[in-house]
Amino acid sequence: MPSAIIVTGAAGFIGYHVARRLIERGEHVVGIDCINAYYDPQLKLDRLAELERLGGDFRFSRTDFADADALEGLAAALDFDRIIHLGAQPGVRYSLENPRAYVQSNLVGHLNILELARHTQTRHLVYASSSSVYGQNGKIPFSTGDRVDHPVSL
């Protein structure tokens, strides 16, 4: 059996659609999500049920990737070689109300994913950033070469 692709945030908006496309093209997909309550968790559970219904090679783990031990324990039991990292705490306004959620998921959790990739046979890691990193940049469209030292949110 080919190695799996880990999709973090598989119950989220983008992660669900990515996982779905991968399952439909016959990939072995391991979804990770903590199903947080940033918006209605039932929507996330419904998305996971849809992924299960596809009948493909899909496995899900309710894991918080900001918990390094939990992530490493899960990964040790998996045969994977690619990671698509779409789990995150999104939203600009909420980052002012609850900055700790961003530090946990987007800083601590992101580092945990990078470390996982570094210490395993991961061939490829993709993640979604945010246009917020470009701050009030008036130059459209944004480019990965643009300055990112004045982000609009944490």
Ligand X SMILES: NC(=O)c1ccc[n+]([C@@H]2O[C@H](COP(=O)([O-])OP(=O)(O)OC[C@H]3O[C@@H](n4cnc5c(N)ncnc54)[C@H](O)[C@@H]3O)[C@@H](O)[C@H]2O)c1
Pairwise CA distance, residues 135 & 26, whole Å: 39
Question: For residue 121, how many other CB atoms are within 10 A of its CB?
Answer: 10
Of residues 23 through 62, those in contact with ligand X by CB under 6 A are 32-36, 38, 44
Question: What's at 84, amino acid-wise?
Answer: I
Query: Which position among 64, 84, 116, 117 is part of the footprint of ligand X (CB under 6 A)?
Result: 64
Residue with tokens 């918990």: 67
SS3 assignment, position 103: helix
| Residue 90 binds ligand X (CB under 6 A) | yes
**Closest separation in Å from C-beta 66 to ligand X:** 4
Number of residues that bind ligand X (CB under 6 A): 25
Tell me the residue number closest to ligand X, measured at CB.
12
- The residues, any chain, with a CB within 8 Å of residue 19's CB and separated by 6 or more, are 7, 10, 29, 31, 51, 58
For ligand X, the closer CB: 58 or 109: 109
Among 130, 137, 151, 154, binds ligand X (CB under 6 A): 130
User: Does the footprint of ligand X cover residue 14 (CB under 6 A)?
Assistant: yes
Largest interatomic CA distance in the chain: 48
Q: Which residues bind ligand X (CB under 6 A)?
A: 9, 11-15, 32-36, 38, 44, 64-66, 86-90, 105, 109, 128, 130
